[in-house]
Protein backbone atom coordinates (compact mmCIF):
# COMPACT_ATOMS: atom_id res chain seq x y z
CA UNK A 1 0.00 0.00 0.00
CA UNK A 2 1.79 3.10 -1.22
CA UNK A 3 1.03 6.33 0.58
CA UNK A 4 -0.36 9.06 -1.64
CA UNK A 5 0.12 12.78 -1.31
CA UNK A 6 -3.57 13.05 -0.43
CA UNK A 7 -3.06 10.51 2.37
CA UNK A 8 -0.23 12.60 3.75
CA UNK A 9 -2.26 15.80 3.63
CA UNK A 10 -5.23 14.03 5.25
CA UNK A 11 -3.25 12.52 8.13
CA UNK A 12 -1.31 15.76 8.58
CA UNK A 13 -4.68 17.44 8.97
CA UNK A 14 -5.87 14.81 11.48
CA UNK A 15 -2.63 15.24 13.44
CA UNK A 16 -2.75 19.06 13.14
CA UNK A 17 0.77 19.10 11.74
CA UNK A 18 0.37 21.81 9.10
CA UNK A 19 2.47 20.15 6.38
CA UNK A 20 3.13 22.36 3.35
CA UNK A 21 3.32 21.27 -0.28
CA UNK A 22 7.03 20.62 -0.67
CA UNK A 23 7.24 18.80 2.64
CA UNK A 24 4.19 16.72 1.72
CA UNK A 25 5.99 15.41 -1.37
CA UNK A 26 9.07 14.44 0.64
CA UNK A 27 6.97 12.83 3.36
CA UNK A 28 4.96 10.87 0.80
CA UNK A 29 8.20 9.27 -0.39
CA UNK A 30 9.57 8.70 3.13
CA UNK A 31 6.41 7.16 4.50
CA UNK A 32 5.97 4.94 1.44
CA UNK A 33 9.54 3.73 1.80
CA UNK A 34 9.12 2.98 5.50
CA UNK A 35 5.77 1.27 5.02
CA UNK A 36 7.24 -0.89 2.27
CA UNK A 37 9.38 -2.51 4.99
CA UNK A 38 6.22 -3.32 6.93
CA UNK A 39 4.78 -5.43 4.10
CA UNK A 40 6.71 -8.43 5.43
CA UNK A 41 4.15 -8.65 8.22
CA UNK A 42 1.26 -9.37 5.87
CA UNK A 43 2.86 -12.73 5.09
CA UNK A 44 2.90 -13.80 8.75
CA UNK A 45 0.13 -16.16 9.73
CA UNK A 46 -1.51 -14.65 12.81
CA UNK A 47 -4.81 -16.48 12.53
CA UNK A 48 -4.11 -18.50 15.67
CA UNK A 49 -3.00 -15.51 17.75
CA UNK A 50 -5.64 -14.67 20.35
CA UNK A 51 -6.41 -10.97 20.64
CA UNK A 52 -3.87 -9.45 23.01
CA UNK A 53 -6.63 -7.42 24.62
CA UNK A 54 -7.61 -8.84 27.96
CA UNK A 55 -4.81 -11.33 28.30
CA UNK A 56 -2.88 -11.46 31.55
CA UNK A 57 -4.03 -12.36 35.01
CA UNK A 58 -4.30 -8.90 36.45
CA UNK A 59 -6.95 -6.35 35.73
CA UNK A 60 -6.29 -2.65 35.85
CA UNK A 61 -5.75 -1.47 39.44
CA UNK A 62 -8.53 0.63 40.94
CA UNK A 63 -8.19 3.79 42.98
CA UNK A 64 -10.50 4.57 45.93
CA UNK A 65 -12.91 7.44 45.21
CA UNK A 66 -11.04 9.79 47.51
CA UNK A 67 -9.96 13.33 46.84
CA UNK A 68 -6.24 13.83 46.60
CA UNK A 69 -4.69 17.26 46.66
CA UNK A 70 -3.04 17.72 43.28
CA UNK A 71 0.50 18.27 44.62
CA UNK A 72 1.33 20.94 42.08
CA UNK A 73 4.45 22.81 43.04
CA UNK A 74 3.84 25.48 40.43
CA UNK A 75 0.74 27.37 39.39
CA UNK A 76 -0.99 27.02 36.03
CA UNK A 77 -0.01 30.62 35.28
CA UNK A 78 3.66 29.62 35.55
CA UNK A 79 3.46 27.51 32.40
CA UNK A 80 0.26 28.39 30.52
CA UNK A 81 0.79 30.32 27.27
CA UNK A 82 -2.30 32.50 27.95
CA UNK A 83 -4.62 32.74 30.95
CA UNK A 84 -7.32 35.13 32.02
CA UNK A 85 -9.49 35.04 35.14
CA UNK A 86 -8.34 31.47 35.72
CA UNK A 87 -9.29 30.30 32.21
CA UNK A 88 -6.88 29.02 29.59
CA UNK A 89 -7.34 31.31 26.60
CA UNK A 90 -7.13 30.04 23.02
CA UNK A 91 -7.86 31.68 19.68
CA UNK A 92 -11.53 31.60 18.76
CA UNK A 93 -12.64 28.77 16.52
CA UNK A 94 -12.71 29.69 12.86
CA UNK A 95 -16.04 29.34 11.04
CA UNK A 96 -15.50 25.78 9.85
CA UNK A 97 -15.09 24.49 13.38
CA UNK A 98 -18.30 24.14 15.27
CA UNK A 99 -18.29 24.70 19.03
CA UNK A 100 -21.42 22.62 19.55
CA UNK A 101 -19.55 19.54 18.41
CA UNK A 102 -17.04 19.55 21.13
CA UNK A 103 -16.64 16.54 23.31
CA UNK A 104 -18.51 13.31 23.14
Partner 1 sequence: MSVESFGKLGAAAIASSVRAGDASRSDMIRASFERAREIGAGPDGLNIYLHSDEQASLEEADAIQKRLDSATDVGVLAGVPVAIKDNIASLGLPTTCGSKILAGYVSPFEATAITRLRASGALIVAKTNMDEFAMGSSTENSAYGPTRNPHDVRCVPGGSSGGSAAAVAAGITPIALGSETGGSVRQPAAFCGVVGVKPTYGRVSRYGLVAFASSLDQIGVLGRTVDDAALGLETIAGFDKMDSTSSDVDVPIYRLSALGGLPPDKRGPEGVAMESIRIGRTSVPIPPPPSASTLEGVVIGRPKEYFPDSLDASIRDLCERSLDRFRSMGATIRDISLPRSPLAIPVYYILAPAEASSNLARFDGVRYGLRVDPGKGLKAMYEATRSQGFGPEVTRRVLLGTYVLSAGYYDAYYKKAQAVRTLIGDDFRSVFSSGVNAIFTPTTPTTAFHVGAISDPYEMYLNDIFTVTANLAGVPAMSVPIGRVRRLPVGGQIITAHFDEYTMFRVAYALEASLGAEAHQ
Partner 2 sequence: MSRERYEMVVGLEVHVQLKTRTKAFCGCSTDFGAPPNVNTCPVCLALPGALPVLNERAVELATRAALGLGCKVNPVSIFARKNYFYPDLPKGYQISQFDQPLATGGSVAIGKNEAGADVQIGITRLHMEEDAGKSIHDRYPGATAIDLNRAGVPLIEIVSEPDLRTSADAGAYLRTVKQILQYLDVSDVSMEEGSLRVDANISVRPPGQTKLGTKTEVKNMNSFSAVERALEAEFERQCALLDSGGRVEQQTLLWDGARETVRPSRTKEGSHDYRYFPEPDLLPLKQDEKWIGDARSHLPELPDARKKRLVQEFGISPVEVEQLTATPALAEYFEAVARVSGDGKAAYNWVMGEVLAALRASSGDITHFRIRPADLAQLLNLVRDATISHTAAKRVFALMVETGKLPAQVAADEGLLQVGDEDAIATWVDEVLREHPEEGTRYLAGEKKLQGVLVGFVMKKSKGRADPKRVNQLLSARGG
Residues at the site binding partner 1, with contacts judged by CB under 8 A: 1, 3, 7-8, 10-12, 14-19, 27, 30-31, 33-35, 37-38, 40-42, 44, 46, 49-50, 52, 60-61, 63, 71-76, 78-82, 88, 90-94, 96-97
Q: Which of 6, 30, 34, 88 binds partner 2 (CB under 8 A)?
A: 88
Min separation Cβ 75 and partner 2, Å: 10
Helix (H) or strand (E) holding 83: strand 83-84
Stretch that binds partner 2, among 20-28, 29-37, 38-46, 95-103 (CB under 8 A): 95-103
In 3D space, the residue among 67, 2, 69 whose CA is nearest the CA of residue 29 turns out to be 2
Q: Which does 67 bind (CB under 5 to 8 A by kind): partner 1, partner 2, none?
A: partner 2
CA dist., res. 88 & res. 80, Å (int): 7
Q: Are 8 and 31 in contact (CB under 8 A)?
A: yes
Q: Are 32 and 11 in contact (CB under 8 A)?
A: no
Amino acid sequence: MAVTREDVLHIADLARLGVDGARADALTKELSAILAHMEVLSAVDTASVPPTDGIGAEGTPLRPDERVSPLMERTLESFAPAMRDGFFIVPRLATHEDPAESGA
